[in-house]
Homo-oligomer: A and B are copies of this chain.
Amino acid sequence: MGNLKAKIKDTFWSKYDALVRDVVIPYQRDALNDRVADADPSCAIRNFRIAAGEEEGEFYGMVFQDSDVAKWLEAVAYSLENHPDPELEKEADEVIDLIGRAQQPDGYLNTFYIINGLENRWTNLHECHELYCAGHMIEAAVAYYEATGKRKFLDIVCKFADHIDTVFGPEEGKLKGYPGHQEIELALVKLFRVTKNKKYLELAKFFLDERGNDPYYFDIEWEKRGKTSHWTGGKGAAPSKSKEYNQAHLPVREQTEAVGHAVRAVYMYTAMADVAMETGDEELLEACRRLWNNIVYKRMYITGAIGSQVHGEAFSFDYDLPNDTVYAETCAAIGLVFFTSRMLEAEPKGQYADVMERALYNGVISGMSLDGKSFFYVNPLEVNPEACEKNGIFRHVKPVRQKWFGCACCPPNVARLLASLGHYIYGIKDNIIYTHLYIGSNTEVDIDGTKVSIGQETNYPWDGKVSITIKLDGAKEFGLGLRIPGWCNEAKLSVNDQELDLASAAVDGYAIIKRKWQDGDRIELDLPMEPVRVRSNPLVRANIGKVAIQNGPIVYCLEEVDNGPNLHTVVLPKDSELEVSFREDLLGGVNVITAQGEKAKVEAWGLELYKANACIEYVPVKLNFVPYYAWINRQPGEMTVWIRER
């Protein structure tokens, strides 16, 4: 399947699009240029000037500082695609020119090593993110080329990729390495797709296939460089002590469980799916399915977040999904969207789109405040602000979104995903146009020479009614696949006011309508939303005896601002009704859910810490649920997604 690019015009998502354009991209540009007054300098642009020999100074920042510039350019590219902006484009061109001037004659491009000594390049793939930064540069260049048609940036990264290809590969004399932080693999597939140069695809496949082999490459390079570690500044432990962290514990085709650093994992799985598709490698695709199933059936939060532990920012083990000590990095949820979109390309199944939707509407956008000015790196599902401050196991959990980060991976990652969201709505395969997401938008596609335009209108996710209008010259036979979300049991579908039998149209979570479409044909899809109680597999220790509320794709939570403190004492009776109402005035306009609940009368208990044969008194309370993604946009306080029930 190929993806189509749609232009978004949507009550829900256009706000995000505008935020990225008006707030995030300008803020990020200022940050990269060290113009944000109250923040530590980034020096990311300055590093390029030093590397280009245009300024004196030392490299500053994280070893992967270059990737911030790349992610910004990628977000700019997507934004320009939808909203031409000559001034922004000029700024981007100037940055690209600077990148070009920093590039070495042999194509090498990484300011850390250009500034600190090229003799050390490619000696510490394990820790130093060289190939990771290259990957982001390539992704940005591909996006910029596709948005603007300008080749300069693309030429820069092709030259860089060509250089990398002279260094790494199966041929004798080349290094048998692969990145410590996966990213370049998926980027090389993008570069292959735009340039049609198979070398890039083969290099991506090489990096994937080398990973997990014996002897362990990261140990080899560690021995070779004198057993030093970038992070300690001196000697370091053998990298083989933590092979799972980089998913290098087994050849990728043999991996069955999602382990290690969650972002690296899903970036790698994304590339595995890409390479499997491009090469028809069924074994590799089967590995993707296994890893997918392991995540989705055993290691994913209800918000689509992944990564259960701060140690290694990593997966932990099956059904280990603590809500409070969680990691759930915004970037990992974004990576899951990438992985999902590739699985959808490989095989159009509703289960993939369900997870993509779950992550997008919950664990991804929870990462950014409604004003686009602050960000979560960690997205907890349960927060007690005092605990975050006073119990060290919560040190990584911030009870409010932060302005920016020393390691600034999440904000630009959110920006580039939101700016490119139009790429995730539609796919096409075998003359069937699949609608994965319900987002107001327009797209055009050429089917055997016929230009077909699809317009989608909806008030999703606050209402499940979707109108789709087909425009084309004359008539054309093709299929339209409309996803019936997993959360919806009573979908209704009509074409030109004629209801279709959904059961007979259903294939793998999509209703497939094949017919000769006429200009002006109108599809009405009704996906009735009603709030439901969701429960976890009983093996999930953190959620036993608890329930979460979901309405359509939106996961809800209780916040202290609406429900008072001590949310752990709240109980939702099994039979209390869940009522939905749209609140225009609240959080940018959201469906809220109310229910009759109970809460402990803490003052009735007295001072004792433990009492024999005494019960806690409960009093009735009205519970007010708001969408999880929108939490902590008012005042700080407790929050919980999972509520005890009785």
Residues of A within 8 A of B (CB): 296-298, 300, 302, 308-312, 316-317, 320, 322, 325, 384, 386-387, 390-393, 395, 487, 532-541, 544-545, 548, 550, 566, 568-569, 571, 600, 602, 605, 607-616, 644, 646
Contact = CB atoms under 8 A, between A and B. Distances in A.
A390 B314 CA distance: 10
A536 to B, nearest CB: 6
A569 B544 contact: yes
Nearest 6 CB-CB pairs, A to B?
A311-B392, A538-B600, A532-B612, A316-B391, A317-B390, A541-B568
Contacts of A320: 386-387, 390-391
B538 A309 contact: no
Nearest to A318: B386
A536 B317 contact: no
A320 to B, nearest CB: 6
A580 to B, nearest CB: 15
B393 A609 contact: no
A609 B536 contact: yes
A538 B602 contact: yes
A365 B59 CA distance: 56
B610 A392 contact: no
A302 to B, nearest CB: 5
Given A548-B610, A550-B612, 12 more contacts: A297-B609, A308-B391, A310-B392, A316-B392, A325-B325, A384-B541, A532-B612, A533-B613, A534-B610, A536-B610, A537-B608, A544-B568
Contacts of A609: 296-298, 300, 536-537, 540
Contacts of A568: 541, 544
B539 A566 contact: yes
A234 to B, nearest CB: 11
A615 B308 CA distance: 25
Contact of A309 (B310, B391, B610, B646): B391
B540 A566 contact: no
Contact of A532 (B566, B602, B613): B613
A610 to B, nearest CB: 5
A569 B391 contact: no
Contact of A612 (B533, B571, B615): B533
B602 A392 contact: no
Given A297-B609, A390-B317, A644-B544, A569 B538 contact: yes
A215 to B, nearest CB: 26
A535 B611 contact: yes
Given A540-B609, A544-B568, A609-B300, A535 B616 contact: yes
Given A308-B391, A393-B309, A544-B644, A612 B538 contact: no
Nearest to A603: B538
Contacts of A316: 387, 390-392
A608 B544 CA distance: 15
Nearest to A574: B615
A541 B600 CA distance: 12
Contacts of A644: 544-545
A298 B609 CA distance: 6
Contact of A393 (B393, B533, B537): B393
Contacts of A308: 391
A616 B538 CA distance: 7
A387 B539 CA distance: 13
Contacts of A571: 545
A302 B537 contact: no
A325 B309 CA distance: 13
**Most chain B Cβ neighbours within 10 Å, of A296, A311, A538, A611:** A538
A392 to B, nearest CB: 3
Contacts of A298: 609
A149 B312 CA distance: 57
Contacts of A309: 391-393
29 contacts: A296-B609, A297-B607, A297-B608, A298-B609, A300-B609, A308-B391, A309-B393, A310-B392, A311-B391, A311-B392, A311-B395, A325-B325, A384-B541, A533-B612, A534-B611, A535-B611, A535-B614, A537-B605, A537-B610, A538-B569, A538-B602, A538-B605, A538-B616, A539-B605, A540-B609, A544-B568, A544-B644, A545-B644, A548-B610
Contacts of A390: 316-317, 320
A605 B605 CA distance: 37
B393 A535 contact: no
A548 to B, nearest CB: 8
A612 B571 CA distance: 18
A298 B610 CA distance: 10
Contacts of A533: 612-613
A609 B302 CA distance: 9
Nearest to A308: B391
A395 B322 CA distance: 15
A19 B614 CA distance: 38
Most B CB contacts (10 A, CB to CB) among A322, A608, A610 go to A610
Contacts of A297: 607-609
A119 to B, nearest CB: 28
A535 B615 contact: yes
